[in-house]
């Protein structure tokens, strides 16, 4: 009897059908969905080239160019296309060792065997000219053009910032960036990254078997042009910035100068200063390590990040708050006793004299009246109430929080509140006698130099300020950030600020004032000195504005570990800055030479620790 194989043939048909379906599905996956396969195929004949846009330029307030671009080139590699390479010849051509070659190729393979990555970055146009006629011999390598930042003068490094290659965190935060891209790392380069960077374009080129470009793919129909970044027009006065950095040479400290009527920052520097061009190009890494290891901390932006005790400049704000609260009057006087340590001067008969002579006992008693207002019989509750009111008004002066200037990494300082002291001492375990050092800008009070300059602006404006900022406008449409044009009122009467202005005028020009070295002939300078205790020698502090009426400039100067007080070092330096800005030149050339050449700062590392006044 013949066997029936019909069911077996059916099984075979089913097997062939299943295998065919698997093949079809697999081919569909490879061709339609698998990006890696697509990249492999395209990289055999096409080259995707990123077209980097020109980064936006930066100008100073008078139209002087601060930052521009220069063409450089990156040597790119697609690892899987590197075949039959004469490694020795290649290394000789580009000037690297075999070990260096292997390390770079390993890094490229790790990133992607099929995608282009940077093999050697920021090649000069001279090197590019030498390599251009030989690179076609080395399959898998090609040149990509980009721009490098150039800083026209070696100034304003902490303001302008620098650009660096993206890291893993940058890549995770923003999908716009790819490995090998560059991003603003600090200063305005970071704050205005989106405006400055522009938009990348793409060019697709056909490549022959010899690694030579033979023309655009599909006649360039898929190419996109890069859009260059927007230009920034800053508030910085380049001439004043350069002059300030010259005066602060060989010193540690900072200067912040602001136009009171607008909040526009004229000068912002942290000393020691450094040339921003040091952090550009292939030498950036080596220079960064050197600057970062420098004991004087040139990379640290003291103007925005140092939190110092303000010293006696804080007395101006103390007086304004006390007058507003009515705990003293303009004619209130206090005996100059030894309750907190005083200078050798007569007792202050009123607020104006107290500011002029910087009388410690006067502001001790003033602060006590603010903190202990007699609202509660319990001294601890009364002190908590008074400190809460005081803290609220201090924040209106821009203290105790980050002033939203358009630069990154700004510190907020410290204006202690009840929660601060409750945590430190325990609830109802502290009162005025515990915290009295705050009265003279010591104790737990810390401010940032930017806030000090802002205090000078508040008095100059007689009670208000605009947020300090460094960019006037950007782009072809002259976009102006609206938040920088909002007036911030302290809520304190103008008449009290008139008293402060007169007192600050007397500091510089009056008999018994503490800052006669800030006197400029024919310019009415209003200022306030400070001597801040700290580790090592005292800091020299000075804030000022000029002229007294319709002020054009407000300035804060901080000179670290410069024994002698604010009137000895910070005040004359501030006066040079004021004269340079208002007159366009400094006529006191002997004084200019002396304060430019001298270095009053205590040598590092510091060896002496100053004891703060004992709390009572």
Q: So where are the chain's domains? A: 46-198+216-234, 238-289+304-597
Q: Which residues pair with 544 in a beta bridge?
A: 527, 555
What's residue 26's pLDDT?
64
- Cβ-Cβ contacts under 8 Å for 37 (sequence gap 6 or more): 30, 31
The average pLDDT across 333-356 equals 90
91 versus 217: the higher-pLDDT residue is: 91
**For residue 81, what pLDDT band results from cuts at 50, 70 and 90?**
confident
Using DSSP, how many helices (H) and how many strands (E) does the chain show?
Answer: 22, 18
The average pLDDT across 135-139 equals 85
C-alpha 304 chain-centroid distance: 7
The CB-side HSE value for 457 (13 A sphere, CA atoms) comes to 28
What's residue 343's pLDDT?
75
The average pLDDT across 65-72 equals 92
pLDDT tops 90 at residue 404: yes
Peptide bond into 605 cis (omega under 30): yes
The average pLDDT across 434-453 equals 96
Query: pLDDT digits over 444-503, tens only?
Result: 999 999 999 999 999 999 999 999 999 999 999 999 989 999 999 999 999 999 999 999
The average pLDDT across 190-207 equals 90
Query: pLDDT digits over 99-128, tens only?
Result: 999 999 999 988 888 878 889 888 878 888
The average pLDDT across 197-220 equals 77
pLDDT tops 60 at residue 24: yes
- CA 154 – CA 160 distance, rounded (Å): 11
Query: pLDDT digits over 271-292, tens only?
Result: 999 999 999 887 888 999 999 9
What's the token pair of residue 257? Answer: 């100068």
Under 8 Å between Cβ of 476 and 578: no
Class of domain 238-289+304-597: alpha beta
What's residue 80's pLDDT?
85
Domain 46-198+216-234 has CATH 3.90.1310.10: yes
- CA 491 – CA 327 distance, rounded (Å): 16
pLDDT tops 90 at residue 587: yes
Mean pLDDT over the full length of the chain = 90
C-alpha angle 594-535-430 in degrees, rounded to nearest 5? 130
**For residue 5, what pLDDT band results from cuts at 50, 70 and 90?**
low
Under 8 Å between Cβ of 303 and 295: no
73 versus 399: the higher-pLDDT residue is: 399
Query: pLDDT digits over 153-196, tens only?
Result: 999 999 999 999 899 999 999 999 988 889 999 999 999 999 99
447 versus 208: the higher-pLDDT residue is: 447
Under 8 Å between Cβ of 520 and 579: yes
Query: pLDDT digits over 520-577, tens only?
Result: 999 999 999 999 888 899 999 999 999 999 999 999 999 999 988 899 999 999 999 9
- Percent above pLDDT 90 for the chain: 69
- CA 71 – CA 201 distance, rounded (Å): 16
Strand, helix or coil for residue 26: helix
**For residue 366, what pLDDT band results from cuts at 50, 70 and 90?**
very high
What's residue 613's pLDDT?
41
What's residue 210's pLDDT?
59
- CA 338 – CA 615 distance, rounded (Å): 15
């Amino acid at each position: 009897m013949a066997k029936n194989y019909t069911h077996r043939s059916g099984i075979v048909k089913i097997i062939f059908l299943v295998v065919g379906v698997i093949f079809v599905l697999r081919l569909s996956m490879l061709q339609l969905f698998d990006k890696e396969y697509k990249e492999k195929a395209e990289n055999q004949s096409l080259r995707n080239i990123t077209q980097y846009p020109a980064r936006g330029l930066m100008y100073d307030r008078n139209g002087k160019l601060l930052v521009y671009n220069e063409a450089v080139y990156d040597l790119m590699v697609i690892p899987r296309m590197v075949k039959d390479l004469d490694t020795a010849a290649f290394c000789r051509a580009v000037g690297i060792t075999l070990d260096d070659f292997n390390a770079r190729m390993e890094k490229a393979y790790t990133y992607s065997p099929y995608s282009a990555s940077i093999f050697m970055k920021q090649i000069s146009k001279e090197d590019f000219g030498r390599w251009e006629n030989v690179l076609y011999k080395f399959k898998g390598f090609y040149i990509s053009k980009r721009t490098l930042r150039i800083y026209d003068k070696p100034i304003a490094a902490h303001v302008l910032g620098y650009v660096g290659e993206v890291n893993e965190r940058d890549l995770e935060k923003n999908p716009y960036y790819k490995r090998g891209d560059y991003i603003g790392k600090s200063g305005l380069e970071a704050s205005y990254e989106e405006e400055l960077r522009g938009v990348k374009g793409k060019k697709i080129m056909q490549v022959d078997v010899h690694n030579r470009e033979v023309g655009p793919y599909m006649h360039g129909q898929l190419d996109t042009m890069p859009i260059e970044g927007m230009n920034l027009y800053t508030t910085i006065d380049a001439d004043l910035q350069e002059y300030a950095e010259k005066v602060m040479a060989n010193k540690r400290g900072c200067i912040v100068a602001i136009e009171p009527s607008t909040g526009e920052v004229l000068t912002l520097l942290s000393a020691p200063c450094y040339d921003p061009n040091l952090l550009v190009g292939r030498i950036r890494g080596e220079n960064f390590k050197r600057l970062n290891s420098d004991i004087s901390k040139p990379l640290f932006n003291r103007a925005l990040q140092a939190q110092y005790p303000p010293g006696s400049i804080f007395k101006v704000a103390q007086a304004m708050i006390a007058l507003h609260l009515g705990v003293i009057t303009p004619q209130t006087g206090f005996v100059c006793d030894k309750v907190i340590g005083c200078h050798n001067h007569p007792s202050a008969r009123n607020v104006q004299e107290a500011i002029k002579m910087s009388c410690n006992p006067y502001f001790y008693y003033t602060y006590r009246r603010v903190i202990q207002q007699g609202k509660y019989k319990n001294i601890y509750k009364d002190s908590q109430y008074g400190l809460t009111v005081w803290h609220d008004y201090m924040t209106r002066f821009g203290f105790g929080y980050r002033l939203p200037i358009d630069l990154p990494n700004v510190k907020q300082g410290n204006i202690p509140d009840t929660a601060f002291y409750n945590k430190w001492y325990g609830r109802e375990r502290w009162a005025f006698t515990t915290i009295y050092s705050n009265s003279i800008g010591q104790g737990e009070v810390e401010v940032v130099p930017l806030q000090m300059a802002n205090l000078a602006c508040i008095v100059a404006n007689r009670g208000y300020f605009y947020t300090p900022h460094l960019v006037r406008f950007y782009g072809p449409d002259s976009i102006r950030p609206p938040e920088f044009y909002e007036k911030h009122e302290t809520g304190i009467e103008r008449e009290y600020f008139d008293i402060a202005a007169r007192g600050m005028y007397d500091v510089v020009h009056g008999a018994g004032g503490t800052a006669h070295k800030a006197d400029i002939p024919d310019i009415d300078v209003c200022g306030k000195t400070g001597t801040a205790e700290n580790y090592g020698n005292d800091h020299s502090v000075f804030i000022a504005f000029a002229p007294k009426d319709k002020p054009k400039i407000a300035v804060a100067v901080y000179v670290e570990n410069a024994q002698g007080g604010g009137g000895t070092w910070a005040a004359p330096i501030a006066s040079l800055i004021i004269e340079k800005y208002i007159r366009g030149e400094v006529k006191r050339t002997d004084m200019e030479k002396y304060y430019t050449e001298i270095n009053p700062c205590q040598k590092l590392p510091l060896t002496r620790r100053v004891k703060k006044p004992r709390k009572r």
